[in-house]
Amino acid sequence: MPLVEVRRAIYSYTPAATDELTLTDGDVLYILDNDDPDWLQAKKKQFNIDDPIEQGLVPTNHTELVESIARAKALYDYDPVESEETSLTEGEDVLIIEEDDPDWFMTKSKGGYGFVPKAYVE
């Protein structure tokens, strides 16, 4: 499922239902669906490959959009292979959202939010 946004928890939240996520202030959330103005379908960022995948609903008012940290330009076209990746067109301006992975940037491009290989942008 493609990513709609990248948000950060600004408040802690204890779930009231089984389909909701526990939030801790600072959690990074990959938003899968934002059709409901009050609730977001989110997936928590995994910091380690062994971390469990946590996905569920979070209250919109407990989150804020993550701002870009840099701008870059796509060096090559890129077609996504996985659902959390996004496409690039050579020469396209890209916003870098996260850069903590050694091989991938989290970006916002014309294709939307998603991961792209670092070697494809400068």
- Over residues 39-55, the pLDDT tens digits come to 999 999 988 878 888 99
Residue 100: per-residue pLDDT: 92
Question: Quick count: other Cβ atoms within 10 Å of Cβ 106?
Answer: 25
For the chain, the first-to-last Cα distance in angstroms comes to 27
Question: Minimal CA–CA distance to 9: which of 51, 53, 47, 43?
Answer: 43
Residue 58 reports pLDDT greater than 90: yes
Q: Give me the amino acid identity at 110.
A: K
Closest to 111 (Cα-Cα) out of 78, 88, 95, 93: 88
Residue-level pLDDT at 52: 86
Can you give the pTM of this predicted structure? 0.91
β-partners of residue 106 are: 98, 115
